[in-house]
Amino acid sequence: MPPGPRQRLISAAIELVRERGVEGAGLTDLLERSSSARRSIYQHFPGGKLELIETSTRAAGEWMRRAIRQFGAAMDTSTLLAETIRQIAASLVSSDYRLGCPIAAAAAVSADAAGVREAAAAVFAGWVEEIEAMLVREGRTQDEAHSLAGFLVSAVEGAMLCARATRSTEPLDQAVEHLTRLLRGRSS
Amino acid sequence: MPPGPRQRLISAAIELVRERGVEGAGLTDLLERSSSARRSIYQHFPGGKLELIETSTRAAGEWMRRAIRQFGAAMDTSTLLAETIRQIAASLVSSDYRLGCPIAAAAAVSADAAGVREAAAAVFAGWVEEIEAMLVREGRTQDEAHSLAGFLVSAVEGAMLCARATRSTEPLDQAVEHLTRLLRGRSS
DNA sequence: CATGAAGTAGATCGATCGGTCTACCCAGCG
DNA sequence: CGCTGGGTAGACCGATCGATCTACTTCATG
């Protein structure tokens, strides 16, 4: 059974925000891409565009968190990191560097869209939680794991940003190189 | 002598882009903040808003590059890094997390504003060049220095992004912690 | 069949967008 | 003096923004 308008709107919103950011994502394009009626937005998201984007941000974040958990059960953190970055690089290249991270775009929103920014913050916190648990399972202390997990998330986000700007996977390659070294060298 | 309209426009554009991103920076606010006439934009930047923002991006990047060079002459890379992040944290806190990195905002622009994205890419490349030279001066090989410098830039950008999203300096603190460790441990 | 909720299609709203235009002020200079 | 060009002030343009509204269709349920 095909996805209803609500799901189509969320998917289109994620893609559009990845391409053009929150402010740049217009309703007209959104409706065209999702093949939805204008009214469907306000039927499912009474708060309008910002509520849709907030929901989309949390949905995209939750999807990623599940992926971290799923693959994290089958490999160690440094392998998961390398694999994740490899996927990111592939998606950047295959989209000709048009698609960035939807959470990063939501995080960069202006102050008057507090809900969207808070959604991004919650997603980041969830990712950190997930990776932190992996690191603890691998024998690290709670504090060590928390700090390292937070750094991994922000470093990967930064590498994505720079990769998109320079239209090159080099920042991502550098990130996997140095973060792997950081993960392997258990000095602390 | 007071700065002319051109300089006022550039300063206001940098600030506005830091707050609301490229798409979110409206000309009306820009003119009000810079106390300029609407016509002055097109007098100095015939290409309009995007040319102004492109110029502003390069100006902000050049200012930062000069700061890196200047302070880089007086301290080693890890000290410069810690000092830079400390400044970033201070500016985030003092602006109540409203002001992000203008280059990051320019980097996140949609594909049809290629000039702005290219300006951001050029700025990043300039920063990497500067830090790379520092690292070479400290005895690292060219390849090592290049990769490490690129990673430093993207990691700091990512930490800024996450710090702004979570309204906390924690990501910045984590970045200085782990990047310092990476810089001090000369294993390679 | 009747009812009502969900979805579609599209006109329309006021506000704002970036951009263009005219008119005026004023300092520098012949 | 008059001329010129940067600067200012503000009206104005078409286009687009997010949002609201009506009218029609679809369809499951009573």
Contact by Cβ (8 Å): B21, A110: yes
Please state the domain count of chain B.
1
Low-confidence ranges of chain A (pLDDT < 70): 1, 186-188
What average pLDDT does range B164-188 have in this prediction?
A: 91
Q: Quote the pTM value.
A: 0.96
Q: Tens digits of per-residue pLDDT, B120-167?
A: 999 999 999 999 999 999 999 999 999 999 999 999 999 999 999 999
Smallest CA–C1' distance to C21, residue: B39
B118 pLDDT more than 70: yes
**Which nt is closest to the CA of A26, judged by C1'?**
D17
Output the pLDDT for position A123.
98
The spacing between the Cα labelled CA in A9 and the C1' in D11, in angstroms, equals 40
Categorize the per-residue pLDDT at B116 as very low, low, confident or very high, splitting at 50, 70 and 90.
very high
Q: Tens digits of per-residue pLDDT, B45-56?
A: 999 999 999 999
Give Cα B170 distance to the centre of its chain: 19
Output the pLDDT for position B66.
98
What average pLDDT does range B60-76 have in this prediction?
A: 97
- CA B175/CA B156 separation, integer angstroms: 7
Does B107 touch chain A if contact means CB atoms closer than 8 Å?
Answer: yes
CA dihedral A62, A124, A120, A101 (to 10 degrees): -80
Its domain, for residue B54, covers 5-184
Q: Tens digits of per-residue pLDDT, B134-143?
A: 999 999 999 9
Domain containing B95 — which CATH number?
1.10.357.10
Output the pLDDT for position A98.
97
